[in-house]
């Protein structure tokens, strides 16, 4: 059975992961409005990943005999001044999520909930990848500056990203 404090914190994180999906869908829509289909694709795939993260925690709470409680999802921003500003916002968001995951690990450790600490290690590793992939795009956009040709090349690169749900070997638990 899962500790009540851990259950409540994981439920908050489920909501935050759904918010992340909303945020990335809003960014995808923003990029669609600019006819940057590759950028839109990248954000849409990111939204799918966030939904997977939410469901991973959802399933875990249920497996531990807890109760999932879904809250309202806050509306995300819908406008950014540039592709760079949108990706910088995504990077800041991922850093915030990393801090939230670290707080969950700290709580589970304090509660001596080793199973939850173990499950959260997947998220700890995932956040390293999340921050790195967003930071990579931020750096490319900074290098591109005001060059439409460079923006076009980045857009083409981002169009190749596909969604690949985690496998059992990657820790989806199934």
Exposed, middle or buried by CB within 10 Å (0-12, 13-18, 19+), for 23?
A: buried
pLDDT band at 164 (very low <50, low <70, confident <90, very high): confident
pLDDT band at 170 (very low <50, low <70, confident <90, very high): low
CA 25 from centre of chain: 11
CA 6 from centre of chain: 20
pLDDT tens digits, one per residue of 52-91: 999 999 999 999 999 999 999 999 999 999 999 999 999 9
Q: Compute the average pLDDT of residues 20-31.
A: 98
pTM of the model: 0.92
Mean pLDDT score of the chain = 95
Domains of the chain: 4-163 (1.20.1260.10)
């Amino acid at each position: 059975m899962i500790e009540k404090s851990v259950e409540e914190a994981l439920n908050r994180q489920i909501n935050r992961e759904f918010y992340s999906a909303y945020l990335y869908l809003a960014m995808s829509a923003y990029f669609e409005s600019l006819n940057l289909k590759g950028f839109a694709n990248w954000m849409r795939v990111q939204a799918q990943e966030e939904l997977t993260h939410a469901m991973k925690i959802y399933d875990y709470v249920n497996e531990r005999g807890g109760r999932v409680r879904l809250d309202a999802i806050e509306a995300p921003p819908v406008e950014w001044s540039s592709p760079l500003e949108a990706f910088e916002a995504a990077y800041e968001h991922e850093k915030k999520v990393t801090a939230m995951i670290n707080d969950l690990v700290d709580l589970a450790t304090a509660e001596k909930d080793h199973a939850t600490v173990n499950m959260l290690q997947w998220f700890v590793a995932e956040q390293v990848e999340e921050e790195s992939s967003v930071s990579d795009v931020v750096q490319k956009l900074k290098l591109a500056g005001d060059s439409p040709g460079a923006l076009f090349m980045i857009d083409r690169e981002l169009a190749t990203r596909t969604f690949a749900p985690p496998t059992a070997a990657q820790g989806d638990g199934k």
